[in-house]
Amino acid sequence: MTIVDPTKESAVDPSVVNITINNKPVVARKGEFIIAAADRTDDFIPRFCYHPRMSSVGMCRQCLVEVETPRGPMIVVSCMTPVVEGQIVRTTTDSVKKAQEGVLELLLANHPLDCPVCDKGGECPLQDQAFSHGPGESRFVEEKRHYEKPIAISDIVYLDRERCILCDQCTRFADEVAGDALITFTSRGNDTQVLTFPDEPFSSYFSGNTVQICPVGALTAKPYRFKARPWDLEQTESTCTSCSVGCRTVVQSSRDELVRYQGVDIDPVNWGWLCDRGRYNFESVNSPDRLTTPLVKTGTELAATSWSVALETTARMIRLALAGNANSVAILGGARGTNEDAFAWAMLADKLGIDQRDSQLGDGLSPEVFNLAQATIDETCTASTIILLAPDLKEELPVLYLRVRDAAQKRKSRIIEVSARDSGLTPHAWRTVGFEPGHQAQAVREALSTPEMKEQLARGQVVVVVGRPNLAENEMFTLQALAEVFVAEPSVKVLPVLRRGNVRGAIAAGLTPQNNSGDAIDILNAAAAGKIDCLILLGADPMADVPDSGLVQRAFTQVKNLISIDTMINDSNRNADVILPAAAYGEKNGTTTNLEGRISNVAQKITPRGTSRPDWMIATELSISLGVDIGVSSLEDLNSKLVGAVAAFAPSIDAKSTHGDGVLMARETPVTISGNLSRAIDRNAYNLRLVVSRTMYDSAGSTVSSPSLAGIVTDAAIFVNPLDLGRIGVAEGTNVRVGAEGTNIVIVIKSHNGVHRGTAWLPFNHTGVDIRPLLNISSDVVDVRIEPIK
């Protein structure tokens, strides 16, 4: 949002309005409400329903102030009254006090006095403002209204209607911001209450925000209920790394255990919102399954050991492999950690001459997208045209979805969605360009050549949001489509949306293929061919993340020594030779880089579990064991080395700059992209072309080891268009055989209107059936044949 600080505007600016609040001059922006102008002064106006990121509704009437009118002083609602030139506002007169006390007495009439057992008690706007602006005593002696105490309105959120003051914040958020109007006022009148439709849960990806903005204890979230009292909490500001949006958060702990994340409002990124996955996967940090001690394989079993033994063993393995050939060691991963973690490992790899490293796992895009003219999130959301060549943002980068949705709904951006499948943004798209995987470049070329599109592209800045929309197709198709956009409009800017936490920082810090060596898939292919002796997994779980699990399987059987640095046991490191326990999010300091290249700090709040250590510390220790000391003495030392060595990080030289809004990476002179138009072979009419993409709740380690989220993950199924379902001749919900190139799986089939005809959609990495045998990474697209089971 481009909120201009009005205090910096010149007085002649027509958008500036001068008013007085409590006899002090205040400069306001035209159209602004009194309460927003007052928020920049020291005079606090009490409020419950007002939220600066949502439209004003004047529900609670608490923000009454006095405004001078020709007919004398008048009491008005300050969240609904716009400023006008010369306005005289008073917020502390006797009549204002009387009005505010009256409203509060009425709000409290039916509010239960259960503050001592209420989770909100201690940080409750109603409690606080009852003290600061309330009458002190209630004249209401009658029985208060009663409802069934908390009812679960979703897997995560509980609603206590007795405490609700009907401020409309949660329902407004659900409708206006998230676009999931699944909770609403029902039985309006004397019995108004917030409810869902009967038996339809509030299953929004953003439901946690309603709990955060609820000004009373009406909405509480399962992971935090009765876990702590606000005055017990310690907190520190940090940046979420669950995906690459980089939402600003506060991490809160009690007795050295993470208990809650809350969103922090920063203008350039998240506006205070978080998605539920990012908000609640802190539970995985507290998981009893966390590794607390190094494990080394003795015989066939992994056995706990000391750090010195584990590091010696690791060093010996690496040394042994390097003795033959520097190309027999490879590093996969690094996007989970901080910039410093990645840089320490990159330095170690440099010292050892390991070129084969990749922080992407074959499910991303070539880093060359970072060399194109870059757009920030703000630039994207203020652009005239946003072209989506991206995965479903709602599923993979949820808060970016909120921003782009806002741009299309409330601002002037028009979305042109290029997608093989309907996404969360399809209803907000101005035009949708469908295509069959492998033909997107053609589709983009044709679509953008119409007069209507040309006119739209000429209206102003064009930003392309580019990511990896389909794991069952070669990334080259997306890049070619991107090149076509550059042909149609050379001044276009790019917002690369690679989803993994700190992937952009890891690539910039050097965890990306060096000296023309291959990427993750090439590394795995080399491993499968027996050319890799020692494979280091740096917080990577290729078994879960690389689309082609067969390839990973073959690679792992051939690799002599598998070393894993991770927080938990997973499918990839179960058979590792050494596992070094890593400190998790919330247990280490550093900086992270979001998808637009914004560097901001992540902060430590709790002690690392057991003897686990940050990745950078492990790299440092290992470098000493290997006799190639990377010379890092502390995190500060490492950070200054990073800032000095990598130009992209130079803007973060002052540690303070990474706090708050963070600071953007230095950008290189942009290059352009060109691609030869090629297209995939045509599909046999009996087959369906596969679209494989991620959903928000999948079997990712941090989700399934968070008890509150684990139950939300659904079993794998294949989705087809209802018309295709009819053609296949099976009923919805039955098992079918899905075959591709000699392999087949048996899976439940479902119909979905958002799946285009001729394609089939498989959500990636869900529980139940493993779909990856179908994905052969060496083929450009995957066509499947679906047959009923006789």
Footprint of other proteins on this chain (CB under 8 A)? 175, 180-189, 195-200
Please state the φ and ψ torsions of residue 302, each to the nearest 5 degrees: -85, 130
Q: Which of 773, 729, 770 is nearest to 749 (CA)?
A: 729
User: Which of 401, 420, 381 lies closest to 179, judged by CA?
Assistant: 401
618 in Cβ contact with 565 (< 8 Å): yes
Q: Which of 741, 736, 789, 790 is nearest to 760 (CA)?
A: 736
Q: Which of 317, 333, 347 is nearest to 562 (CA)?
A: 317
| Distances from the Cα of 76 to the Cα of 66, 125, 305, angstroms | 6, 21, 70
CB closer to other proteins, 196 vs 612: 196
Measured from the CB of residue 343, what is the shortest distance to other proteins in angstroms? 47
User: Whole-number minimum distance, CB 414 to other proteins, in Å?
Assistant: 12
196 or 380, CB closer to other proteins? 196
For the CB of residue 165, give the shortest distance to other proteins in the complex, in Å: 18
Nearer to other proteins, 178 or 335 (CB): 178
- The amino acid occupying position 60 is C
Between 94 and 199, CB nearer to other proteins: 199
Question: How many CB atoms are closer than 10 A to CB 599?
Answer: 27
Strands (E) across 255-352 are located at: 257-263, 295-298, 301-304, 329-333
- Max Cα distance, the chain (Å): 92
Smallest distance, Å, CB 199 to other proteins? Answer: 8
Q: Which DSSP helix (H) or strand (E) runs through 316?
A: helix 307-324
Identify which of residues 431 and 737 has a Cβ nearer to other proteins in the complex. 431
Q: CB of 459: closest distance to other proteins in angstroms? A: 17
Tell me, rounded to whole angstroms, the distance of Cα 450 from its chain centroid. 35
User: In what order do the strands lie in the sheet containing 257-263?
Assistant: 234-239, 248-254, 257-263
Q: Which is nearer to other proteins, 345 or 401 (CB)?
A: 401
Percentages (nearest 5) of helix, strand, coil residues in the chain = 30, 20, 50
Closest separation in Å from C-beta 426 to other proteins: 13
Supply the minimum distance, in Å, between the C-beta of residue 187 and other proteins: 5
450 Cβ partners below 8 Å, 6+ apart?
none
Residue 5 or 199: which CB sits closer to other proteins? 199
Nearer to other proteins, 196 or 502 (CB): 196
Nearer to other proteins, 143 or 199 (CB): 199
Tokens representing 280 are 């609640």
Radius of gyration of the chain (CA): 28
- Whichever of 122 and 754 has its CB closer to other proteins, that residue is 754
Nearest distance, CB of residue 181 and other proteins, angstroms: 5
Going by their DSSP bridges, the two strands 743-751 and 718-720 should be labelled as parallel
**DSSP sequence for 644-697:** HH-GGGGGG-SGGGGSTT-EEPP-PPP---------PPPPPTTSEEEEEE--SS
Supply the minimum distance, in Å, between the C-beta of residue 55 and other proteins: 17
The amino acid at residue 252 is Q
Nearest distance in Å: CB 195, other proteins: 8
d(CA 605, CA 607): 7
